[in-house]
Amino acid sequence: MTADRREVKASNLASYEAYRGSSFPPSAIDADPHEAQTPRRIEALGPSTGAQGLVGLDCCAIPSDSGVATNSSVPPYRRCRRMSLITDTQPALTTLSEQEQMFQEAVRDFATAEIAPKVREMDEAQQIDAGIIQQLFELGLMGIEIPEMYGGTGADFFTSILVVEELSRVDPSIGVLVDVQNTLVVNAFTRWGSEELKAKYMPMLATGSIGAYALSEAGSGSDAFALTCRATQDGNDWVLNGQKLWITNGNEAEIFIVFATVDTDAGYKGITAFVVEKAFDGFTVGKKEDKLGIRASSTTELLFDNVRISPENVLGEVGCGYKTAIETLNEGRIGIGAQMLGLAQGALNHTVRYVKEREQFGRAIGSFQGVQFQLAEMVTEIEAARLLVYNAARLKDAGQPFLTQAAMAKLYASEMAQRVASMCIDLHGGYGFTKEYPVEKLYRDAKVGTIYEGTSNMQKQTIAKVLMR
C-alpha cells in the first residue's frame, strides 16, 4: 500500500469514528407527562438540519493537507475518485433530521387522534370544526415559519411541507387550510411586508387569525393578471372596488392579501398587493362554492365596495404586485404538491389495511399477485412524488433556484394523486364507491390538485419555457 493510500485510509477511519461518536441534538418538543391527554405545542425549531443538495462542489478541489496527490498530471476522474474517499456522504432527500422526525410524528399523532374522527362530519357539513382550528394554532401549525419574536414556531419552509403532507394524509381540507396560511400568506408577509406590517399582522397570524390569498377572479384564472379589481388613490389612501372568486379560507379568514390594478395602462406592472381586514367597511365575503372535493375547506367570492385602505397596508411596492404574486405562488406549488403527496399516501395506507383483511376465494386479496403489483406501482409513484416535493422544498430553503422543480413537483404529485386514489377505489371494489370507506372522499379531494394554483398545463408551460431557453 502506498503512503498516499495509507493516509487516505487513516483519514477515512478517523472521520468514521467521529461520526459514530456524534450525538443528536436534544428534543425540540416539550413532552410534559402531565399533559399527555392534550395536544402539545410544537416548540420552535431552528433551520432544518436535514438533507441538502451538493451546491457548488468542486470535486477536484482537493485540500493540500489531505494526503491526496494533486499532481496536475493525474486525470481529473481519478482525482475525483480519490476525493470521494474523504468527502462526507450526503443523506438522501427523504432523510429527516431528528427535529424533523419529531415534528412529523407529533403532527401525525395529532391528525390521527383529533382530526380523523371528524373528517366525515366536516365533509358533510362543508365546514372545518372550530375546535380543530383552535388546536392548529395551539400547536403552532398556523405560524410555522413566523419568527418566535412574533409568536410563531420559527421553523423553516421544509417543516411546513412536512406538516401539510401529514395533515393531508388524514384530511386534505385541513392540509390546504394550513398550506395557504403558511406557504402563501405568511410567506408573502415575510418576503414583502414592511416592518410595521410584520409587527402588526404576524402575531395575529401566529396566534388566532387565519389568512387568505385573493388573486383569482371570474375572468382571470390561468391568465392570473387579467384583473378587473381596481384600486384608485384618494389622498393618501387607496379605495378598492371589485370582486374576487375561488378564494380558499374565505369564510374563516380575518386577514386577506388582495391583488388589484392601480394603473390599467401599465398592464401587469400596474398590479399592487394590499392587506385587507375582514372588518374593513365595504368588504363582504360572498357566496361559498359547493364543491366536488375538499368540501370542508371554504372557497368563496369576495366583494369590495369602496374599501378604504391606508398606504401602510400596501404589501411591497406599488406596481410590483405581480412579482409578489408570482414568487409567492412558486412556493405555494410545493405546498400543493405536499398536499397531494399526503393524500395519496393516506389512500394507499387505507388500501393496504383493506387488502390484508378482505378475503376472497379463501384468502386475503392482498396475497394475489395482481393486487400486489398494483400496490407496488402506487408506492413507487408516491415515492417519486415525495422526492420531487422534498427536493423543491430543500432547494428553496438552501436559497437555490427552484422554479422548475416546484412546477415539476406540483405537476407530478397532483396527477399521481388522481391515479393512486382511483386505483385504491378499484381495490376496494364496491365498498370503495361508498362513503363508508375513506377512499371515496380522497378520490374526490384529489381532483382539485391539477386545477388550483396553476393547472397542469400551466406547470408544463413553466417547465418547457425553462427547457427552451
Give me the active site residues, please: 453
| Residues 6+ positions from 251 with CB-CB distance below 8 Å | 127, 285, 288, 298, 300
For 27, half-sphere exposure in the C-beta direction (CA atoms, 13 angstrom radius) is: 10
Grid cell of 319 as nine digits: 406596481
| Residues constituting the chain | 469
HSE-CB of 382 using CA atoms within 13 angstroms? 23
Rounded Cα distance between 458 and 406, Å, is 12
Phi, then psi, of 436 in degrees rounded to 5: -65, -30
Instruction: Round to whole Å and give the CA distance between 128 and 212.
Output: 15
Q: Measured between alpha carbons, how far is 113 from 177 in angstroms, rounded to an integer? A: 18
Q: What are the CA-CA distances from residue 386 to residues 370, 412, 414, 459 (Å)? A: 25, 10, 12, 17
Residue owning grid cell 384618494:
234
151 contacts 143 by C-beta, under 8 angstroms: yes
Contact 185, 211 (CB under 8 A): yes
Give the cell for residue 306. Answer: 369602496
In this structure, the number of other CB atoms found within 10 A of the CB of residue 248 comes to 26
Please give the angle made by the CA atoms of 137, 140 and 146, to the nearest 5 degrees: 110
- Cα 281 to Cα 5, 104, 285, 327, 379: the distances in Å are 76, 41, 12, 30, 51
